[in-house]
Structures are given as C-alpha cells and as structure tokens.
Structure 1
C-alpha cells in the first residue's frame, strides 16, 4: 500500500521584505519550516492552508499565488509516507500581531507545543535556513520570483 501525506505551506512576506519562519520541535526533532501543515480528510488545499495559518499564527490569510509544488520523491521524516508539498504566497487579512524572536528555537516558556516564529530577510534567506528539501526548493522559487519582481 502507498501512503501519501499532502502538506500545504504559506510564505508570508511583510512590508520589510521579511519572510515568516516557524521553528518547531516534533518528537525530539528540531526543524524550521514555513507555516502550514497537513490536509485533513475532506479539505481542499486553500482551506487547509487557511486553517493551519489560523491555528499556528492566530490570523486569517488570503492566498495570493501558487509558488511551488513538490516535483520529486520525498519520504516523510516521521513515517513511511511520501510527502507532497504545495507552497503559496499569502498575505494577512489583518495586521500581524505575532510574537516573534530573532533567535532560532526560542520557544515560549511552558508551552506544550514547541513552536516559535521569526522573520528572516528575503534577501538573506538561504536554503540552509530551513530543514526539509521541499522548503529549500520553495526558497529557490520565491527568490527567483522576487528577482523577477512578481511578488
């Protein structure tokens, strides 16, 4: 049997040309990714991304444009499924009131879910800033699009 895990992520770029990153710990693994997560049964990509952003960040988003979809095989780091990731450029529907840090993995004290946000300058963003290969490919796509001035 083949198992597929469909993931959807949003790249939020603010007025200072900074992109939002999410530092997380899952099952003892520290990772940096873009906000987003997995589809739930019966959900479409856009609804899943809006739900994930609201759950993680606490604000509503609008989808601006499709950025990148996985075009290679990637096995999950957590189970035996194949990961298919879809990335969108997003914008907030209200002012962003999000606690963030300059330091990686600067988790709030006493939180059960270990997640922290930070902004990274788009000009300085590198593939080494994120953990998974699909996110690295999304960085390549956003930097190419930024150079072409279509963000």
Structure 2
C-alpha cells in the first residue's frame, strides 16, 4: 500500500488579516498556511490545534472545514508517498499569546483579505485555497 502524508492547515484571520508563515521546505523557503502533519492516533482538528500550539503558542478554535484536496499530489521528498491536505477556518482564543516557538518559522506575514493573491503562497494547493477564499475559483 502506498503511504499517505496527511497535512492539516488553518486559515487564521485577525482583523481582516490572513496569517501566512515563511519557512524552509524541500531545499527552499516557502510561504504557506500554518499547520502540519497528522500524527498517528489524532484527528485532523486535534492535529491542527497541536500544530498551532507547538509552532505559534496559540490555542485555536476550529470554526469550520474549508477545503479538502481532491486531486493527486506526489510528495517532493518521497516519490512513493501521496500528500493529502485538509484546510479549516480557525480563530485564535487569544492572539496576544502569539509567539513563534518553531525555529524553522522565519517570519509571520499578515496579508489583508482585500489584497491577498494566490501568488502570496508557494504551494499549489494553498494557491487554490486562496482563490476559493477570495472568490476567484
């Protein structure tokens, strides 16, 4: 059976600003949504809550499911691995607790929802999600 890598991401908007993080990935630096990989034994919402807490010191509440990837995406690291991404709209319980804990995160970028573009993120699926978010799908 081919292994799957399930990734879960959060769309966090604070005062009409969308959070994007900058971090290294596959030998380059990318801009992407906060989140990460599902660990064995946890659900997607638990994964997202853990990732926000571990990386950004933020407790979040998941508002709603936003998008689940519906096309094949091969891993850049392992040609025998398939990537599967799930996106949720989230809110921070207390945005003042925001503190970058994950040393890989180089920058937090806040983009105004009225100005955000698909090219503001690096990954194909994230670009699709931005198009859906701004109503250009």
Fold equivalence (TM over 0.5): yes
Partner of 2:115: 124
Q: For structure 1, which runs of at least 5 residues remain unmatched after alignment?
A: 101-110, 146-151
Indicate whether 1:7 and 2:7 are aligned.
Answer: yes
Task: With the length of structure 1 as denominator, give the TM-score of the two structures.
Answer: 0.81
Q: 1:135 to 1:129 in 2, by over 3 A?
A: same
Please give the alpha-carbon distance, in whole angstroms, between the structure 2 residues aligned to 1:9 and 1:127: 16
Q: For structure 2, which runs of at least 5 residues remain unmatched after alignment?
A: none
State how many pairs are aligned. 134
Partner of 1:105: none
Provide the alpha-carbon RMSD of the alignment. 2.0
Please give the alpha-carbon distance, in whole angstroms, between the structure 2 residues aligned to 1:28 and 1:46: 29
Q: Which one has the bigger strand percentage?
A: 2
Residues 17 and 110 in structure 2, CA contact (< 8 A), matched pair in contact too:
yes
C-alpha deviation, 1:116, in angstroms: 1.7
Please give the alpha-carbon distance, in whole angstroms, between the structure 2 residues aligned to 1:121 and 1:112: 25
Residues 59 and 94 in structure 1, CA contact (< 8 A), matched pair in contact too:
yes
Q: 1:132 to 1:95 in 2, by over 3 A?
A: closer
C-alpha deviation, 1:99, in angstroms: 5.9
